[in-house]
Structure formats: structure tokens, C-alpha cells
Structure 1
């Protein structure tokens, strides 16, 4: 058995030995591409490990009879297998070969015995990445399911990281994928890449075609100062250069002013560093570097015979290719359109067979406000109390006075939701939009007018409920949405709001640039136990495990993109039904009560458990998770929260920010920025109700609830201006971010990112793109205006 293969020994034909990523690196190395030196721990080493350690049969037994549709069972089995692998010692001969190779790579990337060499004074920083043997095959996309560990240093930590990569072959996601695609667990092996980390002064991405227009005659180069993490995560606006592929001449340059960069400090940690003023707004890449990267892109496209998306880094003036992968968006658009047409034809056939009533002849039973657009039909099931929830079966229409967090499992089964009360920011509206379920709120009388066990049709796009089952022609625009909007590239990042980790893959498929708000409340409610009760009973680890499971699911789905986790912000009335919730205080107005960061600081053990969960997620290699605190009204609240975070994380970098959702936070924003935060995010749902003195859950005053009120807009503008002064990122995660008018206003104010519901990501990106182009055009016209 051969444990180690160096890149020079590998080609694209060695997927079964070194996996897809390894074969790709070896192929590029032998093509003469400037690939950072490294080696592969071959798949046979993993196979030898599980066989000689006598855990192969144990793994098979653990996974035997697993129901992957049972999320809790799947996660528990995945954790059990991963813990087994992590706890098992690697045979000494395999371990020694890994250590020898690591200690050799600082001197040469050729296979040698490290004991025969005079070793360098320092170990190399390396990236340790998984490379599954089925990864990147045409019919088996395993990419992104296994782990990556960056800035690993020292032979002991390298060995641990290799074993952790092996364990990541059994994440819940990977197990689910294999079973659903008929792969035997023991037939899929895993190799591991160990590769020198590039400590880049410049980094970026090159596209061998123009991805926004699919123009195959253009090469796009995007660049930032510092480490590539900033550009990949969308934290900075990069320089963009267009190169003509035929003449290999630079056609245009779009230079941005980068105020800070990610850099690696002497301990290997990634930190933010302010860029000196003289360097800001200067061209990041020299012309010869732009053309050098364009030449690499052209060669790789020719070699692979496919358009390529290439990540690169420059250290000491030398270009390194970190990764290349095919650009598949054109094919995806075509496939999605074909699938949508197929589904629409199927729906029309079903409707024709069942002879539904034509919409022009249908009787309107109730009307309300659109909360989540869409069209569905089903049997009415009226459910307001917990003992009524079980009667709602898959495909029924849930009719209720108002939904609450306990009803989420019921909502998942419904084909549509209709409520008596609520506005566009109520629980039913927020949850249904994320789930993609048609929903009408604020009908006033649906529970009394609609009759149990009768067939109705819900046209949530127009806020109408019809008697019986009717036919409706799906607009062509719905088929063309992704084709029209999907490939737009905007300087303003478009992110999503997430409540349910189970929907993370679906949200990531929108092409969103990250998660601007990940709420914890529904993760907790799913456990049926009050988080403070768990801490009080000495069961803090249970709370941590619940959060790690949910947060890591979202972080993996958005790998390489920022995920901002909001600490708990549950009004006391929402947790009363949980075990241990009987001690929750009775408050007249919970929305103005003991919630947000004020409660978290009173119950510090609960807050620390949240931070410990995020630290655990970081230790899993998912360092794209940041944290923000809600309902801030004092500078001291931010200071205390930050101190608690530092108690848990020590010197490790983690993005830290706040929600701006109170007028108090607006007026003290400069003092908060001075304290040291990385970002803010507007919570416009609360900011609007606190500014306008309106209860957003009271349908009697819904007509006065307006996120576009001049007072609210003035507050937003004021905060963005202050944050720019202190180089703090700005975002929005309230429901207003899903409104095109608000999105256009935010772009004009210079916001860095907008978080929207997954169902409107493409629409908001389209609005943002138009607004950005209009701003550029206006600026160009001003420049062309004759001087007086």
C-alpha cells in the first residue's frame, strides 16, 4: 500500500487513488501551473486505517437500518461514526509517513525521507482538505461535503486534521447523499490534500468567460488585497478587470477603494488590518499580473475544454493557482428551465384530468394580504390548538387565527396557509416565505368563513381564496426568473435570512452571497426544552449540541460565504410551552420586555453556551460563522457581550456585530463603532415598530406600519454614514430587505449587503443591479458635464 503521493506523481486518471480534488491538483501541477507544493494522503491509507483499527464493521453496524429521512436519527448516527473515527489511533507506520512528508515539504515537493534532510527552523502552515474518490465525477457530485482545515501547523496537528478529514466522510449530509444516490458507504473512500498555505498579499478569482453575460470572448479577473477569504466571502468589493481573450489586451478596469484586508498574523490566525490611505483606491494588480492570470485561465479552459472558475493568490510577487473548477451556471439554467416546463406540463395534465373550475368562474371566499406568493389547492383543516395539529396532513390547507413557533411541523405539511390575523412581518409570513409555501395573512374571518374538510384554492400572489379546485395558468415569468436574474453580478451582496437549517441547501441554491441572519429560536423550539432550563439543570452540553447541529448545517451549505448567527431573542411568551418554561415571567407586552441581549446578559450561562457552540463549529473547519447580538440599547451591552465572546474564543478571530433595531442604537452608533465591531445589520421589523410606536403583530394598526416611513429611512441613512466612517460593514435582515423599493434606497445609501427571503433573492439582485448601473451612469454623466 502506498500512503503518500506527491503532486508530480498524480494525473487526472488517479481519482480512485487521490480523489477528485487531488487528481485535479496533480493535473494542474504537471501542466506547469503554479500550484502551491503539497502531497496527498492516498485513499488506501484511509481504507487501511478503518480495517486495521477494526472499526469498519462497527461503522457498518451503526449505519445499518438508518432512516435518513429522520433528521434526528441521521444526525445522531453521523455523530457516533465521526466520534468513533476521531477516537481511533492511526497506525504508527501510516502516521510516520504523513509526518515525514509534511516535514519534507518545506524543503522540496519531491518524495524524500525527512530524516535525511536538515530540517527548517519552522514548520509550514498548510491547508488540509478532503478529496473524496467520487468527488467531481459527472454523475456523483460529492464536492463540498467533506472538511477543510486551514492554517494548520506542526506534524501533530496535521495528523489530527487528516483524521478529522476522514471522519468528515460521515457527516449527516454525506451519509444522506450516498444513500439517496445508491453509493455503498464502504465503496466511497477519501484521500486528503496537504498543501502549503499561500500567505498572499493579493488574491482573487478569474473567470475564463464573463459569467454575468456568458460572453466567451472575455476573461474576468477580480482582485483584493490580502487573503482571498475577503473576496470569496463577499466581504469586500474587488477590483475587476476585463481581458479580451483573442488579443489578450486589457479592455477595462474597475478600481474599488478597499479599506481593510484579511491577513495572517504570526500565530496563523486570520485578522482584519486597515489599509493605509495612500494605498486605497489604487490598482491592486499590475497589468502584467492581470495578463498573467488571463493566460493561466485560457490554458486551463483549453486543457479542460470547459469554462473555468479559478481561485488564485500572489505571495512575494509569484502567482499561485489554489483551485479551478468548471463554470456550470449556463447548464444549470438550461436544466432548471427544462425541469420547470416539465413540472408545469404535469400540473396542467393533472388539472385537465380532474376538470377543475376555471378561475373566471370561481367564487372568492375570503381575501387577505400576500405573505408568501404562490398557488395551491387542498382540503381545509382549521387548527388553533395543539390537540388539533395532528389532523393537518400533507397537502391540506392550514387555516388558523395565527401561527406560532409550535406550529412549524404542521406548516411544513401544509400546501398553503391562511390566517385571520397578521401582517407581512408576522410569524406566518416569515416562516412561509422561507419554506416557499403560499400564504395569505390578515383575512379577518377565514376560520369562520372557510368550512372544515372542503376543497379550496389559495392564490396567495393575489391574496384570494377560491371555492373548490380551480385551474390557473402559471405565468411564463416564473419559468424565466432564474434565467433573467440568476447570472447578475452586483457589488452589493445579496444574502438570505434563515430560520430552518433543513432549508439551507435550498436557500444556498439561490446563489445568495451568504446568510445575513441565522435565527436560533426554531432550533431551540425543536428541542422542546427551554435553553435556560438546560443550563440550570447542568445540561448545557445538550444546548450546545442542538445549536452546533443547526449552525453547522447552514455553514456547510454556505461554505466560503459569511453566515451571521444572531444570539437568542425570544420574547418570554414564545418559550412558555417548552419543558422548564413554566417559570417564564408573565409580561403584558413581551415585545418590549425581557428579551434580546438584555436577557442574555442576565442569563450569562445561556449566552456562553451559544458562543461555545459557534467555537465548536469553527473547530469543525466552518469558520465562516460570525455572531451578532440583538436589541442593543446601550454601549455597555455591546462591551459585556464582546467580553463574554472573548472569554470563549480567546485570541481567535470571529466576526462580531450588532443588530440595529432600536432608535437608541441609532443614536449611539458611533460610540458602538469605536468600541470595535465588524458589522451591523438593520432589524427593520423592530426598528419600524419602535420608531413609529406600532405593534407589528396588531392587525388593527397594520395600515400605519411602514418601513419606508421618512423617519425610518433617516435612521438607516444616519447609521450607514457613521459605519462607513469607522469601516464597519452594513447590512439589513428585516423583512424590508425583500422589498424592491427599500433595496433601491439602501443601494443609493451605500449599504454593503441586503438580506432577503430566499424566494426573492433573484428579484432583489435584479433591482440592485439596475440601481447600481443607474448610479454609475449618473456619475459618468456628471463627469462628462462641461466645467463652468
Structure 2
């Protein structure tokens, strides 16, 4: 008997070409069981009802004409959406099962129970529309799912409700918007053996970064219990990011981000009347990650395997059985938002002035929007929403979609990047900030705010109307150049936004940004935690490092992961990471830092850069920096990272620093490690030949070089007119060091601000023969064009 003739078909008999018979969800489950099981991807067994079974139910109960008439009344304005949906659902819920279909469902359920070694096995009953999960449309969340269904009567009941859910208000409006004929879309029901994730964990996984479309990472969200809370956004999940290109190397652990979510509740099994229910999580559950590193890597490898098989970015749901510890993929569908974006064109938003920060959360999208708050606490108040305002609520579900479409932006208390609010916001092209924790408490209706998703993976809510501009970048217009044009990046949270730029690598990644924003603690305060006298600092450090017995490991983990995101963005191109270059007053501002820093009259030319690294005052802190770089290169696998030493005053100082680095496992030349030096002091230029014997390359820091060449404090308002990176004395310094580096066979670039602020400065650098120019991302296209012009003129002159 063929699939189209049978009311029920087992997953293992299905392939993805069977969408018309059993919908996208069920055909995809069959595809994975048939083709990916042998590659280690575990999918729970089950069966599906066919589209024929759906139409048979419709016709046996004689409701086809009534359905069509009700839909026609709605499309002609004679009835509301709510009235229409309720009336069509009632037709299904009052229907009787055709004997052949009911018998087939019950027989398959008995066999599934037998396979599971149980009487009346617990199953998930999922809806799978026959037009769903196409490349330009996702029906995810449009129909109902029923969990922990046990017993034949309960199963038939859930299946009937699945049929009815094809006509939820949200499903009807979505099909109408996408142009699907309501009377030509059927519904298949997937009956799948439950994974005991109620006593384990579950979540959602994407094979690309959901916000930027960066295609080299897997994003995983995880929570305790059944997965509905993650999908609905009712819980703030853990978030993990894994770098795909290094997953095939068993010796590496390329997890580049781990963020612990609040996970305040979990969904567990209930009883016959209420199959599932939410309960609070324990303190231990809230403080622990749901997944161990090896489980994160297993899921990420599965995501890469599934993506490779399907040939497109994928959106997947996973579960871990609490009884066996086994991981499973329970759904997989094509990702439909980033995959459909125009690759060559993207907009860059730049915030210029802003009010007080009110709230923050996870940023969804990359836009900025100002507007008035409309605070809606529950779905029953949806009709109070004001079109064009910013929706602020606790969480959303598919019932909220009609007003989400009318919002300028969305802000929620709960949810992660894979929550309903996040997914719908992406589909609608709206900026959203989710998982703020307390937006509904701190914001109020009528309040003027700005929602900014343009500053990295942290979304900000500012008071009032911010000033910002929008730049459209077209990658088709970027010329090729012989001189390498690289990026200056500091914020790991924003690094993936620039992956589409055809840059030649990262010319400057500032370690201190990660330390001050992600770590916040002075490294010496971690090494000598027990001797700290500042009790307030001690308490704060204890809270930040609560998960670590060895507090130094907190620094190493946070720093290596932060830098890994920058290293990943343009992998395998070189990423030059500058070791910490705080001044003493900036170090003192870190938690616990005041006890370890001297007070200096002029920190700008004081105890900074290389002089700290071998000093007893900071040597142990520098050792932690070295450990983080070693982990970044050896354990995470980012051998594209080049280390750079700032403010190295003398050749003897260079020798001391290289010796300390070697003691801490970073020996120049070993495992391909290159070490550069900043050229920002006149002595670096004067003794360039000698410095080149100790370093593989130079990076000109034009700000400090200008300051020290001209004797001008770059922060002085009185002397602002004298601070000029294009002064002839400064240009002489730059030209001289480029020449000397070339003679010595050392690479030389520039990472100062001058090329970003003055693209015409690029011509001077090209004429001098510089190897690379590193600029801020927003000036990349302009500088690239100036470099191409300069190279063209030089070629013509030659």
C-alpha cells in the first residue's frame, strides 16, 4: 500500500519529498531517521497521519463546504477572524473519526508502545501542515502541539484538536498573508515517542547566528524540562555558541560563548487532566548550565551534519532524556529569515546621542527605533494596543502576532534568541530586546524611548528619542586591493555583524574591552582574592565568580571566549589581539583594582603596556592573559590569532616580555605563533631594525605616535588644534618605520584612527608601501575605495 493510500505512515518510511503527504515537519523527521541516523543523529521514533487522512476526516463529517463558506465570509468582511476561527475549529472538534483512520492510529500507537517496551507510551502529538517550512515561509508555532499524551482515547482526542488547530486565528491570518489557499492546505499529525526531557533538558538550535546570519556558528538555547518554555519565551535559557569550522577536530573545544540563563521555571509532566505543568526550578538548577561541554559539541556537530544534508541553514529542536542521558533531535526545518536576506547589501545603524539607559536585554535584529511605549501585560488586553508604538510585555505567544505586526519594536521581560518574540520579530523585520527581566516594571505606557539593537548582542532601551544615522553598505561596490584593509574590533558582541565585509582580517582586537565589559575584575584581585581588604569588592567578585573554585579560571574563560568571537568573525584570516593596554587609573577602576595600582600624575606615559608584563606588580595578571591566549589558540583552535605587545619602550624590554610570554606557554614561532609590536613611541621608529629582530611585525598606533612625536596631550582641549596625525613630523615617522620594516622583512600596518577619520590619508600610506590598513567597520568601504584609487594612480605612474 503506498503512502497516499494509507491513513498512517511510519517516520522511517518518509523522505523530505513527502511534504505534500505529511507536511514539512513529519517528512523532515523521516528524512533524518532514514539518512542521518547512520551518521549518529538520534531522532525519536513515531508515525504520521497523511494528508489523505485529514481530507477523509473532513469529508466523512461533511464539513468541507461549511469550512469554505466560513472562510469566504471572513475574506469578504462578513465575519471577524476570531468568529471564523472559532466556528471552523468547532466543526472539527464535533466531528467523529472515520473508523479506518482511528483504527490505523490506534494500531500504530500500540506498536510504538510495544517498541518502547511500555503500555500506553507517552507521546508528543505535533501538527505538520502540508505547505509548511518552505524556504520562504515557516509555519512554526502556527498549529498546536500536545505533550505527554498517553492512552488511546487521549491520543485520538489530541489528534482531533491538532486538526482543529489548522484554523487557529494566527494560522488563518498567516496563510492569508502568505497567499496560501486555506482549502488546499491539509494537516498531518506527527505522533512521536516522548523524550523524558521533563526530568532532563531541552531547547532550540540554529545552524547560523540568528541576528547576523553569520554562517560559521551554531546557536543553542537550553532550559530544564520540556522545550515549550524555550519556544514560547516563558523562560530565559542558557545560550551557547559553537564555531563550526573547527568541530571536526576532536582535540579542540570550539565553544566560543556560554551564557547562563535565569531558567526560573521548568515544564514537567502533570496528570491526565493537565498533561504538563510549570514548576519553579531549584537554586542548583538555576546556577548550573543545562548542558556539559561534550553535549554542546555533540549537538553542534549534529546541527552541522543536518545543515550539510539539507543544503541550507536549519532551525532545530532538541531534547535530552533525563533517564538515559541521551540527546535527540525532535524537529528540524529550514531557517527562513537570514537565509532570505540579500547577501550583498546591509544597513549599518550608528547611534550618535542617547538618553539614560533604562533597561537592557538580548538584541534581536540590528536596527534602532524611537517611539512611545504601549505596555500590554496580558493577551486579554491586546485590543488596547496603539498602532506604531513599541510593544512592551512579559512574553508573547502566537496569539500576539496580529498586534506584533503593528508594532514599531518589541520589548519583553522573558525569552532568549529562539523565543517566540525573537522569531516573529525577525520574520517581521522589527528590532526587539528580549529577556530584559524587568521592562514591564520600569517602563510605562506613553513613555518616549529608543530601542537600540545596533550595539552588539546586548540590546539597549534609552530614555527619550536618540539621534542615529543609517548607512547602506553594498558589498558589490567594494574594489579589490593589493594593500590589505583590515578591521579594528573591540566588542565581541558586535563582531559577527561585520562578517560579510570582505576584510583581510582584524588589525586590532582590544583585549581591554573584554576585560572591562565582560570580566570587570582586576586580574590581580582574582589571583590574590584572599588578601583583598575591600569587602565590597570581595563580595562582588565572589558573586561574579560563584561557579569557579579557582577564580583565576573565570578570567581565562571569559577572556578567551570573548576574543574567540572576534577571532571567529573573519576566520581563517589573521586577527591581531593586543595584550591589555589599560592605564593605571583605568586598571584601578576595575573591581578590586585600587589595591594593586600606583597613583600616577600622568598615566598616559606611565606604568602601562610592556612595562607591566614583567613587573612583580602585574606579572601574575599578565600570566592570566597569556593563559587565555593559549586556550584561545590551542583548546578553542584559533591559530589565526596574532599577539601584539603595546607600548614597548626599548629592545631590552621586548626581550623581557618575550621571555615572560615563553614561560607562560606563548613562545614566538611555536605552533605558528606570531608576535607583533605596536609602533607608537619614537624609539620604535628610531630602532625599528632592532625591534624587527624580536617581532614578526609592527602596527602603527598613530594616536600615541602623534602625541609623543609632537609633545601634545591628545586629550587636551586647549591643544586640540595642534594634535594632527597628518603633521609632517608624524608622517616622517610613519614613512621611516614602513621603510625599515620592509628592509627587515617584517610586516607593517596601521591601526590608528587616522585612516578611518581621513580616508585620503590612505593614499599617503599606500605610497609609503604599507602592508595593511586597519579601520573601523563603518569606514571600511570608503577607505577600501581610497586605497584602490591610490594603487591605481601608483600603477599608472609606474
State the TM-score, normalized to the length of structure 2.
0.45
Normalised by the length of structure 1, the TM-score is 0.46
Larger radius of gyration: 2
